[in-house]
């Protein structure tokens, strides 16, 4: 991933992708994950690619067919809730970085077997948060974790304080109510606060 903060976006209106991307960049965030949870996701990815300096990925990627769709829409990386060998292989075939989700040591072993050195831990909050990552890091010292699910600005320092965490995934700065209200100033403000906090921790 690029940067310490990875916003997870659920778009209901693809036309919001560009102003959202501009607001994130103004707040110092240069990477975004636009999920396929809504019909606006694919078009949102296409539109977000128009924003200078913004690296755009696709989230909630579940199948190789999804990989093909998001690659054609211009996604630069894919994020999955779980670990699928078929999805990882297709992403590599399409030249896309891939961040699969894991929740157990067995899934981490499968990730290692695939040659991965960074995974999404999902749902991080329910699994045990920073303490769980610390426990997993002992037998998997070369693995980097991107916690996702239940991460907030309040818990951000706890995650980024871990040596095995370089990026956190969250949606508080791109909450659906902010998008519905098109409150781009607040998106920028929350993004800037998160980036500043992350930099101070480093």
- Residues, the chain, total? 202
Q: In what order do the strands lie in the sheet with 118-121?
A: 101-102, 118-121, 144-147
Sign of the CA dihedral running 3, 196, 37, 109: positive
Among 15, 33, 89, 134, which one carries the catalytic annotation? 33
Distance CA 197, CA 83 (A): 31
Could you confirm whether 120 is annotated as catalytic? Answer: yes
Could you write out the DSSP letters of every residue in 86-121?
A: HHHHHHHHTT-EEE-EE-SHHHHHHHHHTT--EEEE
Among 72, 107, 120, 193, which one carries the catalytic annotation? 120
Distance CA 147, CA 160 (A): 10
Could you confirm whether 33 is annotated as catalytic? Answer: yes
Q: Which residues are annotated as catalytic?
A: 33, 120
């Amino acid at each position: 991933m690029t940067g310490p903060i990875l916003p997870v976006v659920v778009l209901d209106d693809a036309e919001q992708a560009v102003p959202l991307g501009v607001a994130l960049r103004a707040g110092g965030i240069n990477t975004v994950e636009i999920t396929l949870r809504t019909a606006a996701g694919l078009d949102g990815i296409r539109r977000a690619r128009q924003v200078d300096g913004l690296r755009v990925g696709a989230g909630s990627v579940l199948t190789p067919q999804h990989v093909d769709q998001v690659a054609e829409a211009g996604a630069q990386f894919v994020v999955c809730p779980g670990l699928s060998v078929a999805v990882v292989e297709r992403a590599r075939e399409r030249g896309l970085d891939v961040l699969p989700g894991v929740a157990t040591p067995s899934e981490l072993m499968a990730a290692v077997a695939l040659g991965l050195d960074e995974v999404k831990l999902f749902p991080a909050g329910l699994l045990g948060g920073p303490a769980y990552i610390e426990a997993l890091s002992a037998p998997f010292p070369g693995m980097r974790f991107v916690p996702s699910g239940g991460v907030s600005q309040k818990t951000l320092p706890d995650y980024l304080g871990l040596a095995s965490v370089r990026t956190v995934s969250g949606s508080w700065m791109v909450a659906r109510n902010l998008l519905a209200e098109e409150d781009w100033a607040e998106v920028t403000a929350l993004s800037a606060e998160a980036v500043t906090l992350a930099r101070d921790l480093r």
